[in-house]
Amino acid sequence: MIVIKRSGEEVTFDSSKIENAVRKANAATIETDRMDEETIQIITRTVTDQCSEFSRAVSVEEIQDMVETAIMAERAFQVAHNYITYRYERALVRKANTTDKQILSLIGRYNEEAKQENSNKNPTVNSTQRDYMAGEVSKDITRRFLLPADIWDAHEKGIIHFHDADYFAQPMYNCCLVNLEDMLQNGTVISETMIEKPHSFATACNIATQIIAQVASNQYGGQTITLSHLAPFVEVSRQKHRKNVEEELAEAGITADPEKIAKIAEERVHKEIVTGVQTIQYQIITLMTTNGQAPFVTVYMYLDEVPEGQTRDDLAMIIEETLRQRIQGVKNEKGVYITPAFPKLIYVLDEDNIHNDSKYYELTKLAAQCTAKRMVPDYISAKLMRELKGDVYGCMGCRSFLTPDRFTDTGTFGNPENAGNFKPGVHKYYGRFNQGVVTINLVDVACSSEGNMEKFWEIMNERLDLCHRALRIRHEHLLGTPSDVAPILWQNGAIARLKKGEVIDPLLYNGYSTISLGYAGLAECVWRMLGVSHTSEEGMKFGLEVMQALNDACTTWKKAENIDYSVYGTPIESTTYKFAKCLQERFGIIEHVTDKNYITNSYHIHVTEDINAFDKLTKEAKFQQLSPGGAISYVEVPNMQNNIQAVLALMKHIYKTIMYAELNTKSDFCQVCGYDGEIQIVEDEHGKLIWRCPNCGNTDQDKMNVARRTCGYIGTQFWNQGRTQEIKERVLHL
């Protein structure tokens, strides 16, 4: 068995430490109230047996709680008093200095929790360690000064989750849609250097990657750029190449007709598109931002974002090259092509590319090949999005959607961000952002109510009030932020072009930005209340009622405060494990509810439930409609590289059925033996889940490349035990 110390370090379970702690408390008790030797042994065995029942590592705090309970069960109340007093005294000592041990464990590279906190961060490198160390200080400040005690207590107990406390000490927002068009067309400033409008597609791509890196270093969530903002620069390059070809031929004394000149120029344009897309792909993968990872960036591919004609055809060429390069993959340190985690790709399905006779159907077939090979792109149905939102636009880095741009009686909200590409009467999405997230643990609401429906709704309202107060704190923490804190965002066009010293407050109201009420564990919540899956008629009815309650709360808050609260299907990566551990500690093991080391993301059907891909998407679509602030559905599929027609069938079903969805395949490589099949999850001698190559038995995570979809985005093999168990237990839907 493994024990997680308070520093995050993992150590082997040692029952003698339990016995010694009980002996010390016993020795500090007057002789008449002491326990005998047999009782001490009983308590030690009881706690040891309880720890062995967990299919995960147990924390020191959990073990100490078990010891307290066991001593009390033996009615040794004075011994229990002394044990509790000692714990309290040690807690006071730790409270006086809450960060040193955590920071030292990071520097010493033995903090296992940090290693598994983010599957796309390597905590052994200096840049990541610096970010984590700063995060420890930020969390400490947040706990002691910035959040009320009841909100932090609820966060610690897994009742709610106050996201990104490791960044909350600074006035930073979550994620955004970058206004790349304004920055490229009207110029920007990067590191106090003026960047003018590029004169070629290749230069535009290069500048875009610099912008991406700067934005990533000034926010903590994901960002999205759209290829449509790069498309106009293809024509710039085309005209440049035509001129150069004419001059070159004239100098050589060659007379060529315009058609020949155009053909040669077009060949050069295509080469430049290849180079430009390659720049974006490799720059994003190799860049290291100040938060210790490659930029968490999504590339949005929607043909109808640009006018029909040459510009749309140029955009199609860029999309095609992006897909081709992703199909190829990138080389790992062994020189083998593998699946990169970023950039994430989103491909929009619409009438001009979804049908067999659609103009751009060949592009859609290429997207299907890319999905089968590299798990991306994800798919947005323009048809469903128009029905649900009235508009078609991309989500931010990890599924967060803005509320639709709304208009006033005077015609438009205006241009408070002072964007250079503002067009009166035209909906605006790029340059908008999300203020942050607080997530409610729906499973805890159900367990706390003990299955009593009246009590469930009472507790739900109490928890929603708690979330609302926490969200208000996030919002108020941003109020008064001067534009000077992040010039690339607030002054130089990524979000706004405010003046120096100007505050960002107007961008926090009127729907310009959103703030998210996250939720997790709907599947387990429904099962605890009704004893059925939320795919059943009864379960679905109740599940939709729960989702509607979240939306009603957001509507009430939004109406009262003019802040765009929105329901968000949280992509919990490490929090799924935290919530599960807290639930087990508070309520014990409940079958189908707390018997896993993870809880289910958002409204998703449980990963172990047997259901086919088409039914899963159809059923989940009803819940996705009530998650307007962001959500994504997925289906787990086998290797589909030889069955592209099945991928296309699923894509067409997505187009007709659900707004945002993806297909999960597997893409692994063992650096020891060269095996490129599925690397498996097994238990080691301590019961810990690890990755092992089925060909050579390699278990060194640093010598393998594992790519799995975890929360809507691709991660690598460094997940925590809860998420690893969830991946292991996924059933195929096709």
Q: Active-site residues: which are they?
A: 174-175, 396, 398, 400, 434, 568, 573, 712
Q: Is 407 exposed, middle or buried (0-12, 13-18, 19+ CB in 10 A)?
A: exposed
DSSP letters spanning 607-672: TTS---HHHHHHHHHHHHTT-TTB--EEEE----TT-HHHHHHHHHHHHHH-SEEEEE--EEEETT
Strand-by-strand arrangement of the 704-709 sheet: 667-670, 704-709, 714-715
Secondary structure of residue 224 in the 3-state scheme: strand
Token digits of residue 438: 């607080």
Enclosing H/E stretch for 584: helix 575-587
Residue whose token pair is 């195929």: 732
The β-bridge relationship of strands 433-441 and 344-349 is unpaired
Number of C-beta neighbours around residue 562 at 10 A: 11
Nearest to 18 by CA among 583, 30, 52: 52
Greatest CA span in the chain, whole angstroms? Answer: 113
Token digits of residue 505: 């407050």
> How are the residues of the chain apportioned to helix, strand and coil, as percentages rounded to the nearest 5?
50, 15, 40
> What is the amino acid identity at position 638?
P
DSSP letters spanning 689-703: EEEE-TTT----GGG
Enclosing H/E stretch for 565: strand 564-569
Number of C-beta neighbours around residue 217 at 10 A: 15
**Beta carbons of 584 and 447 less than 8 angstroms apart:** no
Distance CA 163, CA 434 (A): 13
Could you say which DSSP state residue 529 is in?
H
Nearest to 55 by CA among 594, 592, 525, 605: 594
Q: Is 92 exposed, middle or buried (0-12, 13-18, 19+ CB in 10 A)?
A: exposed
Residue whose token pair is 């290797």: 639
Separation in Å, CA 60 to CA 2, 296, 623: 10, 34, 38
Distance CA 70, CA 47 (A): 7
B/e letters for 146-175, b = 16+ CB within 10 Å, e = fewer, are: bbeeebbebbeebbbbbbbbbbbbeebbbb
**Residues, the chain:** 734
Distance CA 367, CA 322 (A): 10
Nearest-5° Cα angle at 674, 671 to 679: 75
> What is the amino acid identity at position 103?
I
Residues β-bridged to residue 566: 516
Distance CA 595, CA 465 (A): 28
Token digits of residue 467: 């979330």
Distance CA 721, CA 2 (A): 11
Distance CA 561, CA 559 (A): 6
Residue whose token pair is 């027609």: 645
Distance CA 485, CA 482 (A): 6
Residues β-bridged to residue 193: 190
**Beta carbons of 460 and 441 less than 8 angstroms apart:** no
